[in-house]
Amino acid sequence: MSTSSSIESIAAESVQSADSEPERAVEETADERTEDAERAEEREEAEETPGADEGNRPPLRSRRWVRWTGLATTAAVVVASLSAAVVFGWKLKEDRDVDSAADQAREAARQYAVTLTSVNSDHLDQDFTAVLNGATGEFKNMYSQSSAQLRQLLADNKATAHGTVVDAGIKSATKNRVEVLLFIDQTVTNTVTPDPRVDRSRVVMTMQRVGGRWLADKVDLP
């Protein structure tokens, strides 16, 4: 082989090598881009789908929703409990207020029953004034209208009477109006029957709260 042939062969190989270098570079760049795209897709799938090393936990958005739902449920339970406590407390206070009113009205009725059934012909004005002072409404109007005739009857017969409450109980009650059932023994003397006579009666007295006082609004003999 001549020297010129060798030179030509080397030159041809150099040209072929030079031509193949860009092709390999292009192929390597395309492969790298493909690998980068595959890795990006894998990262997206990893973000959307939990990995095995995460214990199959739900996605972050789902976990936040569960947490907020739990907080909302807890808050609703707390609000409901507070509302029930307020209602129960209000009802308990109402019951206590009614019970207190019933006790006060019953005691006032017992005292007024003694005033109403006790009389002495020697001081009728004082007795009648006390009766009217403890009355209101319907009963006060009725007693005022009949007091003149009753006063005259008691004075003419020199009557005396003394009432004693044997027992008393509550028929119905609100904070301002209470029905009281009373059992009364009344000892009576007059010119016709000078020996004491005991009359037993049952009275339903309706007490009304007026200006902080318990007054008799109705007196019935059932």
For residue 207, is pLDDT > 70? yes
Place of tokens 């339903």: 204
Q: Which amino acid is at 81?
A: S
Instruction: Please state whether the predicted TM-score (pTM) of the whole model is above 0.85.
Output: no
* Secondary structure (3-state) at 27: helix
pLDDT of 88-106, one tens digit each?
Answer: 576 677 889 999 999 999 9
How far apart are alpha carbons 145 and 128 in whole angstroms? 12
pLDDT-based confidence at 192, cuts 50/70/90?
Answer: confident
Q: How far is CA 171 from the centre of its chain?
A: 27
Name the more confident of 70 and 33: 70
Q: Which amino acid is at 57?
A: R
Name the more confident of 151 and 8: 151
